[in-house]
Structures are given as structure tokens and as C-alpha cells.
């Protein structure tokens, strides 16, 4: 009986959104897709965003997100919302995506955007998914204009990114793209680092960067974050800049992160 009801519900969902029609009941379950969906969705088109989107420590659109039903990314709760489109991320549990698809729900998975070209592609893709191409073009134009306004020429100095557990990020990451746009040379390149990986503190200190940008520390105790309190980092820069919510996702908000490095 339960299986018959599930099949019937899936059929009704499919019938409610004919091929080629704009989705009317959209659920986003990823912090980064949450933001793009909120920027582009028509009134009433987006039903739910992830709970992370309502956390002001993580989301630059926390106030807007408060106007949507939150979801914690569980297939059961999302299915009961009767969505005709679910937008997930690369790191969404595959079992959740598969369960929703088996129930007849359309699920689109968007990868993280680590470059400005990837951000442009994500905006265009979201506009396509929501059937909002004109709005996507407008957002792209604003993003490019803002990016042109905040870009700085190379030669601003050498910078280091340093996070919990001694990790750093190279040029092929979102943080690396932000540093480059702000005109800084990334010391990760000195050691052949292009992605996000560990960098011994000794190498960081010997690099003598002009600017140090560290990850944010969260309430509570974390052994991984303890390295950010090491006195050697204070010797590099007394008050390191801390990355914030504008650095987390590949969205137009990265222009604010670039501006913060002026």
C-alpha cells in the first residue's frame, strides 16, 4: 500500500510539471545553490532552502532565507514538500539523491564553483533550471560589472591563506581566485600547491607573506582550530584577516570578499 501511494504521488508530481514547463515547487538543499536560487527564482517558485542558508555565520542571505521553509537535506522531508525540482550539490549524500530520483523527483546536482568562469556558468545554469534566463542575464551583467570594479592589478604583495589543521588553498580554489583578483600573489604557488591541502607552519612563516588570511574560529573547542592561535602566526601578522561568509560559495558575493582585501 505504501509503495502504491509513493508511485501515485510520483506520477502526480511528474504530471504537475510537464516537459519544458518552468518548475513551480523548487527545493534547494545546498548552501550555495540556495543563494543563487533565491537571487533568481520567481515569487512563490522556491519553496525551501537548507537550514545553513539561515545561519548568518555562513550565509550572506540569511535574512532572505528566513522567508523560506528550511530543510535539513533528508529525502523524506523533501519528498513530502512535493517538489517538481530539487537542486542538490556535489557533496549531497548520493543515497539522498538516488532515493528522491527513485521516487520520481527531478534532482539536479550542481558542482561547487571555484573560479569566476564557473560562477558565471552556475548563474546561467540556475537561470536555465528555473526558466528565468532574463533574470540570469541581468545577474551575470551585475556580477561582471562588480568584478571589474573591484579587481586590482597584480603587485599588491604576497598573501597566505591558512585554515584549521594547517590547510591552505592554491590558485585552483575559490579563495585562490579571490586573492588573485585582489592583486595578491599566493604563497601556495611557491610550494606547487594549486588545490586545498596542508602547509607546514614553518613554510608559512619562512615565506614572510605581506598579508595573512585565516579561517574563522567557531564557538567551542576544536583541536584543528588551535593552530590558528599559535604565536608564530601572530609574528607573521598581529591581527590576521578572517575569511567570512562571502568566501564560502561561488556566488556574486565573492566581489565583497575581494573588496575586503583592499
Same domain, 15 and 98: yes
Same domain, 79 and 138: yes
DSSP 3-state percent helix, strand, coil across the chain (nearest 5): 45, 15, 40
Same domain, 116 and 173: no
Same domain, 110 and 162: no
So what's the pLDDT on residue 13? 41
Same domain, 17 and 116: yes
pTM of the model: 0.88
Residue 238 corresponds to which cell in the numbers above? 598581529
- Return the residue matching grid coordinates 545553513: 52
Query: By residue range, what is the domain housing residue 206?
Result: 157-259
So what's the pLDDT on residue 123? 98
H-state helical runs in the chain = 2-16, 31-40, 62-65, 75-79, 94-102, 116-129, 133-150, 174-181, 201-207, 231-236, 254-259
- Helix 31-40 to helix 133-150 angle (10° resolution) is 110
Domain boundary residue, one of 146, 180, 198: 146
Same domain, 29 and 67: yes
At 204-236, the pLDDT tens digits run 999 999 999 998 887 776 788 888 989 988 888
- Asked whether residue 8 carries a pLDDT value surpassing 60, the answer given is no
Amino acid at each position: 500500500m505504501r509503495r502504491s501511494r509513493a508511485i501515485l504521488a510520483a506520477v502526480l508530481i511528474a504530471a504537475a510539471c510537464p516537459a519544458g514547463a518552468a518548475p513551480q515547487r523548487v527545493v534547494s538543499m545546498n548552501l550555495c545553490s540556495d543563494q543563487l536560487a533565491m537571487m533568481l527564482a520567481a515569487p512563490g517558485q522556491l519553496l525551501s532552502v537548507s537550514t545553513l542558508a539561515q545561519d548568518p555565520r555562513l550565509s550572506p542571505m540569511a535574512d532572505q532565507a528566513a522567508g523560506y521553509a528550511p530543510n535539513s537535506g533528508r529525502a523524506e522531508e523533501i519528498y513530502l514538500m512535493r517538489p517538481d525540482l530539487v537542486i542538490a550539490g556535489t557533496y549531497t549524500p548520493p543515497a539522498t539523491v538516488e532515493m528522491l530520483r527513485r521516487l520520481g523527483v527531478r534532482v539536479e546536482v550542481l558542482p561547487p564553483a571555484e573560479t569566476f568562469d564557473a560562477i558565471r556558468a552556475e548563474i546561467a545554469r540556475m537561470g536555465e533550471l528555473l526558466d528565468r534566463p532574463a533574470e540570469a542575464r541581468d545577474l551575470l551583467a551585475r556580477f561582471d560589472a562588480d568584478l571589474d570594479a573591484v579587481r586590482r592589478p597584480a603587485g599588491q604583495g604576497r598573501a597566505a591563506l591558512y585554515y584549521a589543521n594547517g590547510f591552505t588553498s592554491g590558485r585552483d580554489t575559490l579563495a585562490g581566485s579571490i586573492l588573485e583578483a585582489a592583486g595578491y600573489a599566493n604563497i601556495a604557488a611557491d610550494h606547487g600547491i594549486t588545490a586545498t591541502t596542508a602547509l607546514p607552519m614553518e613554510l608559512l612563516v619562512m615565506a614572510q607573506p605581506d598579508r595573512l588570511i585565516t579561517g574563522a574560529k567557531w564557538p567551542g573547542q576544536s583541536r584543528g582550530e588551535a593552530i590558528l592561535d599559535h604565536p608564530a602566526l601572530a609574528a607573521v601578522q598581529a591581527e590576521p584577516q578572517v575569511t567570512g561568509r562571502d568566501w564560502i560559495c561561488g556566488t556574486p558575493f565573492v566581489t565583497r570578499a575581494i573588496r575586503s582585501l583592499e
